[in-house]
Amino acid sequence: MKYVLCWSLDDVTFFKVNVRSEKSVRHVTADMAGKIRQWNKADAMLFEHFNRTLWAKLSKLPFNWRQEVQLLKERNQRLKDECLKSDDASNTEIRDEKFRVWEPEGVSVRGFLLRDSVRENGTCVNMAKPPKPFTYELQGRERARLGTAGLG
């Protein structure tokens, strides 16, 4: 996608969000995986089609995409080291509400604790926000920009 959209490496960096803590992970057996594929047969067929398409496109790229993936992993790690005190924080440890993660009942989801030194760093702050608060903030900005603050 970076190549197709002419984006920079920083445009595609990410932190893994909505990751369950190890105690909340339930491992799927081969039998369960087969049943899930059967229940979601149309989705599985779509996935298989686009997965084949992806690999065909990757093989035709004019550069070493595996090297690009490695560069992305290294950049993601540098950002984690620069920005995060922890990527395994519980909501009780996260004092700032905009960084608290949504947790369904009975599930523990890992959140982020920013380093004190990067609280004003827009990249670090935005990458550490969970999806809901980040989305609400973007929606608010767009409503203000469009003059529709009272709508919807």
Record the pTM: 0.80
Quote the pLDDT of residue 148: 72
**DSSP one-letter string for 70-83:** HHHHHHHHHHHHHH
- Summarised one tens digit per residue, pLDDT across range 22-43 is 888 888 999 999 999 999 999 9
DSSP label of 99:
G
Domain residue spans of the chain: 2-28+64-146
Largest CA distance in the chain: 53
8 A C-beta contact, residue 2 and residue 11: yes
- Residue in the structure block whose two tokens are 């760093």: 121
- Calculate mean pLDDT across residues 99-113: 91
Model confidence pLDDT, tens digit, residues 42-98: 999 999 999 999 999 999 999 999 999 999 999 999 999 999 999 999 988 999 888
User: How many CB atoms neighbour CB 119 within 10 A?
Assistant: 10
* Alpha-carbon span 143 to 148, nearest angstrom: 5
